[in-house]
Amino acid sequence: MPRIPVKAAVLREPGEQLALETVYLDEPGFGEVLVRTMAAGLCHSDLHYLKGTMGISLPAVLGHEVAGVVERCGPGVNRITPGDRVVVTITPSCGQCPACVSGTPTRCSRVSQMRERPEPLLVDEAGETITSLGSIGAFAEAIVVPESALAVVGADLPPSVAALLGCCVSTGVGAVIHGAHVGPNDTVAVIGCGGVGMAAIQGARLSGARRIIAIDLHDEKLALASRLGATDVLRSSADDVRSAVLSLVPGGVTHAFEAVGRPATAELAFSLLASGGVATILGLMPSGSQITIEASELIEGDRRMQGAYMGGNRFLADIDTLTDHYRSGRLDLDAMVTGSVSLAGINDGFTAMASRSSIRNVVALGEGTW
């Protein structure tokens, strides 16, 4: 069966700009779905691969935070139908392994197996295989993904907003609710007010946390953090952020979330904890990164440091919850979309990520509606 020609932004060499090329997408196989891309978020994870600080086989099509419309379904698909508006997750789950049935689908032990396919997903005009990040490769006009990676959303959600549900929102809110189990008695510090950090701030507000401290370099992001639920804001360029946090919450916070992706900010998160507190590290770091913490603070203070990959979200269940909160105005996702570019302008979108006010830039491949 002939492959489907689509335009895609291809990474050929680390540190180089993405090149707009015609690539050839395989037809959906058993259990797979062809989705026409409407919007794709530019995530800092993509930037890591673009710069080469995280490795991926090249050439590659990056992008994993995406919303689109189902165009065609392969055999064996029974939950998704053509015409559905869908959001994609990078962590599909089988629903059958011990991790899935225990309520931790982001730890699914069969992810690699579900991504296996007899033919390469993408090839270029010379027939060379092109890698797709997370078996998605969202920076393209269309994608083919397993049915288990998709959640259906309503047509009332703008595609640019829906795309955010696939990564930064499900990660940030999920980390607060599922990873850390924040409640109304808790005090929270969030380090880094990008997409994941802003989602964590909103998640803490939804969970009823009594104090939410936003920490970032830029006043523009701190101003938005206040709008989205932070009770206090602190410049991370201050001489002693830890002392400033302890002046607001004597003894330290019960939960700290790191959403930057640097060992220094992970160490800072741990240092902000009260006895019995938990630091949840969300930012991806280059391979080989090491985090150093004070042993006595860990052991004698009953403090913990943990990961929460993709926020420990429960994607298929969480999407309905998140969209309900969005519709009611309790979750402001529109404010998190701070820029939009075309697929041809994707390199400008990555450049714009350095802006002091940038939260999430989105590649728009449609007209803004489904």
Q: Are residues 150 and 12 in the same domain?
A: yes
pTM of the model: 0.95
> What CATH number should be reported for the domain holding residue 263?
3.40.50.720
Cβ 209 vs Cβ 348: under 8 Å: no
Residues 14 and 139 in one domain: yes
Q: What pLDDT was estimated at residue 56?
A: 94
* Mean predicted confidence (pLDDT) in 218-230: 97
Mean pLDDT of the chain: 95
Q: What is the pLDDT of residues 167-211, one digit of tens each?
A: 999 999 999 999 999 999 999 999 999 999 999 999 999 999 999
Over residues 47-67, the mean pLDDT reads 95
Alpha helices in 148-237, H assignment, sequence order: 159-164, 168-174, 195-206, 219-228
Do 70 and 153 share a domain, yes or no? yes
Quick: pLDDT tens for 228-253: 999 999 999 877 999 999 999 999 99
With a pLDDT cut of 90, the percent of the chain lying above it is 93
The answer to whether residue 204 sits within a structural domain is yes
Rounded CA separation 173/336 (Å): 14
* Average pLDDT value for residue range 82-89: 98
User: Given this model, what pLDDT does residue 66 score?
Assistant: 98
Instruction: State the DSSP code for 179.
Output: I
Residue 93 falls within a domain, yes or no? yes
Check residue 2 and give its pLDDT: 87
Q: What is the mean pLDDT of residues 327-345?
A: 97
Q: Which residues contact 183 (CB under 8 A, 6 or more apart)?
A: 207, 208, 209
106-120, 268-282, 303-317 — which is least confidently predicted?
Answer: 106-120
Helical H segments across 83-138, by residue range: 98-101, 111-115
pLDDT band at 1 (very low <50, low <70, confident <90, very high): low
Residue at 321 is within a domain = no
Q: What pLDDT does residue 90 have?
A: 94
Range of the domain at 115: 4-165+333-364
* Mean pLDDT of the 269-289 span: 95
Structural domain total, the chain: 2
Q: Find the mean pLDDT for residues 333-342.
A: 96
**CA diameter of the chain:** 66
Residue 13 sits in the same domain as residue 132: yes
Predicted pLDDT at 369 = 82
